[in-house]
Amino acid sequence: MTRLRFYSLGLGLLLSLCASAQEAQAQANTRISDLTVQQGAIPRRLVGYGLVTGLDGTGDRSFGTHYGAVHTVQSVVNLLRRFNIEVPAEYLRLRTVAAVLVTAEVSPYLRAGGRFEVQVAALGDATSLRGGVLWITPLVTDPNSPPVATAQGPLLVASDAMTVSTYARRGNSGRIPDGGVVEIDPPQAAVDAQPRLTLRRPDLVTASRIAEAVNAAFGAGAATVDDPGSVTLTPTGGSADNVNGFLAAVDTLPVQAYVPAVVVIDGREGTVVAGGGTQVGAATVSHQGLSLQVGAPENAGDPQSPGSVWLGPGATVQDVAAGLHAVGAEPREIAAIFESLRTAGALSARVVVR
C-alpha cells in the first residue's frame, strides 16, 4: 500500500468518525438554556484605551513630538502627570510602551467585583505585545459614558507556530484572563410576567420543539412560538408566583435541536467539517489541474490519474474532502470546489469559508 493510499484511507476514516460523532451529537438532547437566551439579557460590550508597558523594544516607535506614535508619548506624559511627575514630551524615547485598545463582552448580570476576560490589541506600530503588562484601564460602554469597569494585568500572547523565524513572529494582540473587574452594578431589569426566550440561532423547527417540551412539562399554553427566533412563555399554576423559578426549570428541560446542513471550511488549513449528513449530487468540477467527478459510474475514468477524484453516486461531503486531500489539493482550492458544487446545485448545504 502506497503512502498516498494509506494517507487517504486514514483521512477518510478520521472524517467518518467525525461524521459519526456529529450524527450522535445531533440525536442527543440539549438543554434549552444552551439554545436560547432570555429576552433582555443583552451582553454589555466594554471598550477602553490603555497602555501596555514592559515591552522588550517592540513597542510603538514614539520619539517625542517629532514623528512616530505621538499619541503614545502624550499618554505617557499624562500618566506620569498623575503622579506629579513632569517630563517634557520631546525628551521621551519609548520602545517599551504601546498604545492599545481594550475590549470585552460582559454578562448583563455580572455584579460589582465580578471578573471577566479582556482582549487587547495594538493601536500603533508596535511589533509585539509579548511580555507586556496592561496599565490599569477604565472601560466604558460608550465613549461619552462614565467607566463601569477597569482592566489590568500581564498579557497572554499566542505564538505563531507557522512562522519559522522567531524574529518574524508577531503578537499584536493578546488577552488577559480575569483581567477585568466590574466596578458598578448594572441596572436591574424588571421581570416580565410573560418572559420570552430568544434562540441563539433562529430556526422554526428548534423553536417548535422548545415549545413542545415546555408545554409537555408545564401544561398546554405554557409556551407559544412567535417566530423562528422567539418563544413566549406563560407561567401556569403555582409557577406564576415564582417567575425566576419557572425560568430556571425551563432552562434545564431537554430538547432535540435541529442540526442544519452546513459545510465549514478552514481556508488556511483545509479542514472541512460538515453538519447534517449532507450528500453531494452528480457534478463535474475542473479547477486548476484538479478534476472532481461525483456520481460517475465505475468505468467512467481512471481514478488513479493525477489530480483526479472519482466518486460514485451517494457520495458525502466527507468523501469529497478525503478525495481532495488525497490528491494534494490546497485549502483555497478545496474551498473553491465546494463553492462551485453549491453554485451548481449539487450541494444543498450552506458553505462557510473561514
Q: What is the pLDDT of residues 299-312, one digit of tens each?
A: 555 555 677 888 88
What does each C-alpha distance from 217 to 221, 222, 240, 349 come to in angstroms? 11, 9, 15, 34
pLDDT reported for residue 310: 83
Runs of H (alpha helix) within the chain: 3-27, 70-82, 204-218, 243-251, 317-326, 331-344
Mean pLDDT taken over the chain: 80
Per the CB < 8 A criterion, the answer to whether 311 and 296 are in contact is yes
pLDDT for 298: 58
For residue 198, the model assigns a pLDDT of 92
11: pLDDT confidence band, cut at 50, 70 and 90?
A: very low
pLDDT at 20: 42
Give the model's pLDDT for residue 24: 39
Q: What is the DSSP string of 91-144?
A: G-EESS-EEEEEEEEE-TT--TT-EEEEEEEESSS-SB-TT-EEEEEEEBSSTT
Q: CA–CA separation, 125 vs 68, rounded Å?
A: 8
For the cut 60, the answer to whether the pLDDT of residue 62 exceeds it is yes
| Residues β-bridged to residue 308 | 291
Ranges 22-36, 139-153, 191-205, 320-334: which has the least confidence: 22-36
List the single range of 52-66, 169-183, 248-262, 288-302 with lowest mean pLDDT.
Answer: 288-302
Place 12 in a pLDDT band, splitting at 50, 70 and 90.
very low
**Residue predicted with more confidence, 178 or 187:** 178
Distances (CA, A) of 345 to 39, 48, 207, 289, 348: 38, 47, 28, 22, 6
Backbone angles phi, psi at 106, to 5 degrees: -120, 145
For the whole model, what pTM was predicted?
Answer: 0.65
| 67-68 sheet: strands from edge to edge | 67-68, 62-63, 93-94
Extents of the domains making up the chain = 3-26+260-353, 30-40+190-255, 44-182
Q: 113 or 67: which carries more pLDDT confidence?
A: 113
- Residue 159 confidence (pLDDT): 61
**Weakest-pLDDT range from 21-25, 151-155, 231-235:** 21-25
Average pLDDT (10-21) is: 42
pLDDT at position 114 over 90 = yes
Read off the pLDDT band of 61 (50, 70, 90): confident
Q: What is the mean pLDDT of residues 113-130?
A: 92
Q: What is the mean pLDDT of residues 133-145?
A: 92
Q: How confident is the model at residue 322 (pLDDT cuts 50, 70, 90)?
A: confident
| Residue-wise pLDDT tens digits, 278-292 | 788 888 888 877 888
Which of 60-64, 194-198, 297-301 holds the top average pLDDT?
A: 194-198
Weakest-pLDDT range from 91-105, 165-179, 226-240: 165-179
SS3 of residue 258 by DSSP: coil
Q: Taking residues 264-291, what's their average pLDDT? A: 78
Q: What mean pLDDT do residues 195-217 have?
A: 92
pLDDT of residue 23: 42
Q: ∠ CA(104), CA(107), CA(111), 5° rounding? A: 105
